[in-house]
Structure 1
Amino acid sequence: MTMHFKTLITLASAAMLLAACGGGSSNNSSSATTTTPAVVVQTPLILTGAALQAEVDRFRKDSGYPGLSVTIVNQDKIETVVSGVREINTSKTVLATDYFQMGSLTKAATSTMIARLVEQKKIRWDSTVAEIFPEWRTQMRPEFLTVTLEQILHHRSGLPREINDATAAKAIPLLTGNSVADRRALVGLMLQDAPEFTPNSKMQYSNIGYTLAGLMAETVGGDSYESLMQKELFGPLAMKAYLGFPEDKGPNNNVGHTLVSGSWKVTAPVYDPRYAYFINAAGGMTLTLADYGIFLRENLRGLQGQSSYLSKASFIALHTPIDEYGLGWGVVNLPQLGNISTHNGTELTYYSATYLIPSKNVAIAVTCNCYDTSIIPTVDSFIASLMSPLNTK
């Protein structure tokens, strides 16, 4: 669930300096559709078709990554191309229908699901922790009593980035295997620890905060976070997505990799199975890049008032930043392009990054079935190169 926001901000700015690329056409892509109203399709502004496929193939070959998928929403059309293999040193070709683990790109999806609950009047953006969990009033630190849902999603809760070893050690003996009950136990313990800073005084990235937000959604929604995501996001947008890893589907799927002594090696998902589900709201989403393109397109449509999924006001709220962070999105303003919403993330064996450019009605996402810290600037520079024609159109 790592998110290197400052890296993305720097590289988004660097996109202004990169040269433009060409275009073309091909059959080596896949499209996805939804039932939401479509905007008028205009001339594509960046790479398409054969030119896009060639650029993705070149990037994968140069980078040496096992496999990757790229999706572009280009004037309301979704185009997805893939390159490489599911597993290093095999002939198991990556397909456009293959699943990738999206890491912290889940946070925007979690916030979007919660926006549905807000519009259904089951919760408010200013609902407080004490209001949703009145039974915890006398147990939690007083600093957390008035923390709001919106502050949590803006990473202003005062909660730490991850669960600490001491709290985990106390919690593990209490776990029952019931995901909702166990999340409540873990979050309840964490709210008894002192905040890392005064709530709402600054932005500090927190996976635990998003776990708390997911638990608030479970409480008001009357169902598990995983079920709420299916009912309120994946189902309505016809996205084939779930919480977990591609490996959960068994053979004939992507597998994750890490860099070992300079070579990519197959690596099992890096998580503690005793409480892996605890962090789903912060980084558990797995889907195809074509289906992620549906999510990106709905955000572009929504910001134009062209979505029936959420109101324009709700989409604007999701993409309005405080200290360069909206609700699940990092947001930066660039000359010529205006506000760009961006995020990246990893569950340590996959890496994903995305940019949403509303002023151009364009979005780009890249994911690969491998992770090392060296991937971050390389992938983000590649996205910046794909974005560069937007600066002249």
Structure 2
Amino acid sequence: MVVLAALACARPSTSAAPAPPGASKATSAPTGAPAVDRQAPIDLSGDLERLRDQAHIPALAAIVLDAERTLAHGIAGVRRLGDDTPAALTDAFHLGSDTKAVTAYVAARLVDGGTITWATTIAEALPELAKGMHAELRKATLEQLLLHRAGLPADFQDAPLLEQLRDRPLVEQRTIVARAVLAAKPKHRPGTAFEYSNAGYIVAGAMLEARTGKPWEELVGEHVLEPMALRSCGFGPTATMDRPDAVWAHAGEAPKYLALAADNPAYLGPAGTLHCSLPDWAGFVRTQLVRDPKLLFADTWARLQRPVRLDGGGGYAMGWAVAELPWAKGVVLTHDGSNTMNYASAMLLIDRGIAVLAVSNAGDAAAQRTVVTTVVGLAQRFTAPQR
């Protein structure tokens, strides 16, 4: 579902959890340091249109933000190939596995509220499944799942079982998937190695649901969408079938795309079904960039974003890949997301106080390359010394 391409390219409920004390209830990208106007965001639409046209993708959008405001934004292209309705900055785009940072943040809120702990095991949170679990997985923890270190496989593949999920409540769907995933021998002993796993995030979501009595979607609304006023965000397809009322997904490869109002199955929610407009996604990302003390305790923020080092270099925190890039002069959080029909990429330059997000409503290699190049190029542009 996700390729951490930005990292690679950058190298050339029970009750709601209480807030902490004090809380209120490819191509070439644009280059050259911008002359920053403190009042109005720089319009990137012209540059984005050039990049979009070169790649033959339906739409491309990007936003650059700091701790206080939007520095630049823009959008180019159409909601749906075959229809002239232009895409708009207020349109929601599918975030794919960039949803994982949201799931990890919700978990952190529940940890701060005492509903669950990082050390809560799968067997403790899902006791009704414990008997059928592989013995090595019973002691795997919430934190290991969110770090992709529980030994679970990348995805869950069982077509007959997945067919049985139709029309069942989402909490039940995730419990059924968790039962099947947890019965198998893990790929490695929990805590010993990294294995990127959408299945692991589904199990983590099921743990949060079991401890709160609420669907993951409701928890995201309660802890993210409502308090942050992210009104464009939702789950699943962004558009209504047969209507260009939002951006459509595009399957296939440029320039012969097939426009669809579709998404992956809803049970995948904690691993990647969220959609948001760029300004609303930026609203969530800003809280991660500044580690807002009104939302999480300081040590919780630190743990959430602390990476476990990977053998090939870099690291992975909870919902974020982590790198130290020479040109960035500090720690970088990055992640890509795709349901194969859309592409999203985020880069947070923590020590520089800048974040860059970009999205497309296509998910092929051309879209991936263009989105990632846009993110890296804008990150370099907005951290370059002013002339």
Sort the TM-score into its range (normalised by shorter chain).
0.7 to 0.9
| Pairing partner for 1:56 from 45, 48, 54 | 48
Aligned twin of 1:3: 2
Aligned twin of 2:189: 198
Aligned twin of 1:127: 120
Is structure 2 residue 330 aligned with structure 1 residue 338? yes
After superposition, the Cα gap between the structure-2 partners of 1:75 and 1:268, relative to the gap in structure 1 and judged at 3 Å, is closer
After superposition, the Cα gap between the structure-2 partners of 1:25 and 1:337, relative to the gap in structure 1 and judged at 3 Å, is closer
Residue by residue, what CA displacement relative to the aligned partner does 1:163-196 show, whole Å, maximum 9, x if unpaired? Answer: 123xx42453366511112211221122111112
Kept in 1: contact 2:7–2:323 (CA 8 A): yes
Does the residue aligned with 2:234 lie in a helix, a strand or coil? strand
Q: CA RMSD in A?
A: 2.4
| Pairing partner for 2:355 from 363, 371, 374 | 363
Deviation at 1:351, TM superposition (A): 0.6
1:197-236 aligned at under 5 Å gives the runs: 197-236=188-227
Aligned twin of 2:25: none
* Stretch moving more, 184-193 or 247-256: 247-256
Kept in 1: contact 2:42–2:73 (CA 8 A): no
Is structure 2 residue 282 aligned with structure 1 residue 293? yes
Kept in 1: contact 2:6–2:347 (CA 8 A): no
After superposition, the Cα gap between the structure-2 partners of 1:191 and 1:288, relative to the gap in structure 1 and judged at 3 Å, is same
Kept in 2: contact 1:21–1:386 (CA 8 A): no
The amino acid across from 1:127 in the alignment is T
Does the residue aligned with 2:115 lie in a helix, a strand or coil? coil
Kept in 2: contact 1:66–1:369 (CA 8 A): yes
Hey, what's the Cα distance between the residues in 2 that align with 1:73 and 1:171? 40
After superposition, the Cα gap between the structure-2 partners of 1:350 and 1:64, relative to the gap in structure 1 and judged at 3 Å, is same
Kept in 1: contact 2:360–2:367 (CA 8 A): no
After superposition, the Cα gap between the structure-2 partners of 1:171 and 1:84, relative to the gap in structure 1 and judged at 3 Å, is closer
After superposition, the Cα gap between the structure-2 partners of 1:81 and 1:206, relative to the gap in structure 1 and judged at 3 Å, is same
The amino acid across from 2:103 in the alignment is T
Deviation at 1:76, TM superposition (A): 2.1
After superposition, the Cα gap between the structure-2 partners of 1:49 and 1:249, relative to the gap in structure 1 and judged at 3 Å, is farther
Hey, what's the Cα distance between the residues in 2 that align with 1:174 and 1:309? 35
The amino acid across from 2:6 in the alignment is L
Kept in 1: contact 2:149–2:191 (CA 8 A): yes
Hey, what's the Cα distance between the residues in 2 that align with 1:75 and 1:188? 42
Hey, what's the Cα distance between the residues in 2 that align with 1:24 and 1:53? 17
| Pairing partner for 1:315 from 284, 293, 301 | 301
Hey, what's the Cα distance between the residues in 1 that align with 2:316 and 2:224? 22
Deviation at 1:344, TM superposition (A): 0.4
Aligned twin of 2:380: 388
After superposition, the Cα gap between the structure-2 partners of 1:367 and 1:261, relative to the gap in structure 1 and judged at 3 Å, is closer
Hey, what's the Cα distance between the residues in 1 that align with 2:3 and 2:58? 22
Q: Which runs of 5+ in 1 are unaligned?
A: 27-42
Does the residue aligned with 1:95 lie in a helix, a strand or coil? coil
After superposition, the Cα gap between the structure-2 partners of 1:18 and 1:71, relative to the gap in structure 1 and judged at 3 Å, is closer
Hey, what's the Cα distance between the residues in 1 that align with 2:234 and 2:257? 26
1:250-289 aligned at under 5 Å gives the runs: 251=243, 252-260=245-253, 262-271=255-264, 276-289=265-278
Kept in 2: contact 1:270–1:348 (CA 8 A): no
* Stretch moving more, 74-83 or 99-108: 74-83
Kept in 2: contact 1:69–1:366 (CA 8 A): yes
The amino acid across from 1:319 in the alignment is Q
After superposition, the Cα gap between the structure-2 partners of 1:368 and 1:175, relative to the gap in structure 1 and judged at 3 Å, is closer
| Pairing partner for 1:21 from 19, 32, 38 | 32
Aligned twin of 1:34: none
Does the residue aligned with 1:122 lie in a helix, a strand or coil? coil
Structure whose residues are more often helix by fraction: 1
Does the residue aligned with 1:352 lie in a helix, a strand or coil? strand
Residue by residue, what CA displacement relative to the aligned partner does 1:263-319 show, whole Å, maximum 9, x if unpaired? Answer: 233134253xxxx121000001011111001011111121xxx44122222222221
The amino acid across from 1:279 in the alignment is L
Deviation at 1:260, TM superposition (A): 4.5
Hey, what's the Cα distance between the residues in 1 that align with 2:251 and 2:163? 28
Does the residue aligned with 2:318 lie in a helix, a strand or coil? coil
Hey, what's the Cα distance between the residues in 1 that align with 2:165 and 2:237? 25
* Stretch moving more, 152-161 or 381-390: 381-390
After superposition, the Cα gap between the structure-2 partners of 1:154 and 1:248, relative to the gap in structure 1 and judged at 3 Å, is farther
Does the residue aligned with 1:68 lie in a helix, a strand or coil? strand
| Pairing partner for 1:145 from 116, 126, 138 | 138
1:108-127 aligned at under 5 Å gives the runs: 108-127=101-120
Kept in 2: contact 1:24–1:49 (CA 8 A): no
Hey, what's the Cα distance between the residues in 2 that align with 1:243 and 1:125? 26
Deviation at 1:18, TM superposition (A): 8.8
Residue by residue, what CA displacement relative to the aligned partner does 1:207-245 show, whole Å, maximum 9, x if unpaired? Answer: 000000111110111211111110111111111211111
Is structure 2 residue 68 aligned with structure 1 residue 69? no
Kept in 1: contact 2:77–2:87 (CA 8 A): yes
Hey, what's the Cα distance between the residues in 1 that align with 2:149 and 2:384? 33
Hey, what's the Cα distance between the residues in 1 that align with 2:218 and 2:118? 21
TM-score where L is the length of structure 2: 0.87
Q: Which runs of 5+ in 2 are unaligned?
A: 13-27
Does the residue aligned with 1:157 lie in a helix, a strand or coil? coil
Hey, what's the Cα distance between the residues in 2 that align with 1:270 and 1:236? 26
Aligned twin of 1:31: none
